[in-house]
Amino acid sequence: MATGIPTTTRAGDTLNFSVISADYPPSAGWALGVSLKNVGNAYTASGTASGDGYSINIGPAVTAPWVPGRYMLSWWVSRGAGLTLERHTLGVQAIVVLPDATTASPSDGRSFARRALDAIEAVIEQRAGRADLEYRINDRQVKHIPPLELMQLRTKLRAEVKAEDNAATLSAGGSLPSRKVFVRFGR
C-alpha cells in the first residue's frame, strides 16, 4: 500500500511518499524502485528501507530537470540479479509534472477550458450589438458562428471549468458548497 502519492508535482520540488508491503519487506532483501515515464521522458529513483516499508524521497536536484507533462508513475520491488532476479510491480498511477514555478518562463496558467471559455465570452460580448451572421467584401466571405451555438459551447465550457475549479478546491483541502435538495411529501 502506498500513501501520500500526489496526482501532481512540480519540477524542482521534493516528491516523497511511502510504500508498505507485507509480502515484500525490506528485511527479506527486497529493494524498491520508482519510475516516471511518458512518450518522451523516463526518470527512475530508488526507495530506502523504512521499518516494514519503504520511503521515497526524490529531492529538488533530481526533479529540477523533469519535463512538465503527464506521466505514469510506477513502483516495484526487486531482489536478486541476473537469472535469479525477482520483480513485482506494486502500483501504477497517473501523475502530472508541472513546470518549476520558480524558474518557468512567463506563461498562461489557465487550462484549455478556461482559455476557450474566456475567448467565447469575448466573442459573445464583441458581437452583442451585431445582427449579421455573414458578410462579403469583394471576393471574400466571412461567416460567424451563430449565437445559439456560441451559447451552447459556453455552457459546456462553463461546466468543464466548474469541474476543474471544484477539483482544485478539493485537492487543496477545501470543501464544496452543499447541494441540499428539499423534498416535500404530501397528499
Cell match 510491480: residue?
Answer: 89
Q: How many CB atoms lie within 10 A of CB 27?
A: 8
Task: Detail the DSSP E strand segments found in the chain.
Answer: 2-3, 8-10, 15-20, 31-37, 42-46, 48-50, 53-58, 69-79, 86-98, 134-137, 140-143
**pLDDT of amino acid 134:** 72
Q: What percent of the chain has pLDDT over 70?
A: 95
**pLDDT of amino acid 12:** 93
| Order of all β-strands in the sheet with 69-79 | 8-10, 86-98, 69-79, 31-37, 42-46
What pTM was computed for the model?
A: 0.58
Q: Which of 13-22, 92-101, 139-148 has the lowest mean pLDDT?
A: 139-148
Question: Do residues 97 and 35 lie in contact, with contact meaning Cβ atoms separated by under 8 Å?
Answer: no
**pLDDT of amino acid 126:** 83
Average pLDDT over residues 162-180: 80
97-144 pLDDT tens trace = 988 888 866 666 778 889 899 999 988 888 777 766 777 788 887 777
153-170 pLDDT tens trace = 999 999 999 998 888 888
Residue 56 has pLDDT above 90, yes or no: yes
